[in-house]
Amino acid sequence: MEFKLSEEEKERYDRQMMIPNFGEEGQLKLKKSKVTVVGAGGLGCSVTLYLAAAGVGTLTIIDPERVELSNLNRQVLHWTEDIGELKAVSVARKLEKLNPAVEVKAVPERLTMENVRGLIGGSDVVVDCLDNWHTRFLLNEACVAERIPMVHAGIRGLYGQMTTIIPYQTPCLRCILPETPPEEERFPVLGTTPGVLGVLEAFEALKLIVGIGVSLAGKLLVFDGEAMSFQEIRVERNESCSVCGEKRF
């Protein structure tokens, strides 16, 4: 891949390159960047759509599942004709049409202790778009071990929360939640909830890569769609955190 912008790219990204401190330099940072999105459900559809449109160079999408009819109220990159298709492949196909310059890698695999570090290694940012705590904590550990920033979001019903984790600088997910919350097989979701949180995750990833603005590092953002309000909670590192704490041994 050539690391300068073509005339076509200058035109495609014209409006975002007008942003102060973004410019061609910011666009080149995006073009060189590798982002891994774990989960191609409601959050993942929203995140990958905006990251591909913005011109992230390499986008890896990890999800082992196939599209089901009951996904379509919220997983907006999967359409009726895609039922039965692998979600990672379904998303990749849409993103390639949106922006052929982005290298989209579909990885239809389930994260395990054995494969997680290999799958995310070399990423500039990892985006957590998962729907279960078990895999999310596996991902948190791997991101801390690989020292890769991770943007986390979780949703339920009309509610969501998110934070940005910079390993050894900010609290990791385990600092914030020492006990794993109970898993829920099927939970309610209004499609717009992962829509909002996914766009905010993409927002954080783009800012981290380009180096603009203030991130959610060290802050948990809580979204209440019922009241249409956002609340910010300061979170602290736990020095005896089993994942990133200095006194963990």
Q: Which residue is nearest to Zn ion (CB)?
A: 241
Residue 61, classed as helix, strand or coil, is strand
Minimum distance, C-beta of residue 242 to Zn ion, in the bound complex (Å):
8
Q: Among 174, 194, 197, 204, which residue interacts with Zn ion (rule: CB under 5 A)?
A: 174
**Pair type for strands 219-224 and 229-234:** antiparallel
Q: Which stretch binds Zn ion (CB under 5 A): 21-29, 103-111, 210-218, 233-241?
A: 233-241
Whole-number Å distance between alpha carbons of 190 and 187: 10
| 175 is an interface residue for Zn ion by CB under 5 A | yes
Nearer to Zn ion, 60 or 140 (CB): 140
**Quick one: 12 or 152, whose CB is closer to Zn ion?**
152
Q: Which of 59, 61, 130, 243 binds Zn ion (CB under 5 A)?
A: 243
According to the binding rule CB under 5 A, does residue 172 interact with Zn ion? yes
Longest dimension (CA), the chain: 54
CB of 201 to Zn ion, least distance (A): 20
241 touching Zn ion, by CB under 5 A: yes
244 is a site residue for Zn ion (CB under 5 A) = yes
Length of the chain: 249
Q: How far apart are CA 78 and CA 41, in angstroms?
A: 9
- Computed from CA positions of residues 135, 137, 143, 149, in that sequence, does the dihedral angle turn out positive or negative? positive
Show the site string, 62-91: x = touches Zn ion by CB under 5 A, - = not: ------------------------------
CA 24 to chain centre: 24
Angle at alpha carbon of residue 214, lines to 147 and 236, rounded to 5°? 60
Window contacting Zn ion (CB under 5 A); options: 5-13, 22-30, 115-123, 175-183: 175-183
Contact window for Zn ion (CB under 5 A) among 73-81, 111-119, 159-167, 169-177: 169-177
**Tokens read off for 197:** 């949180």
Q: Measured between alpha carbons, how far apart are the two ends of the chain, in Å?
A: 44
- Catalog residues that contact Zn ion under the rule CB under 5 A: 172, 174-175, 241, 243-244
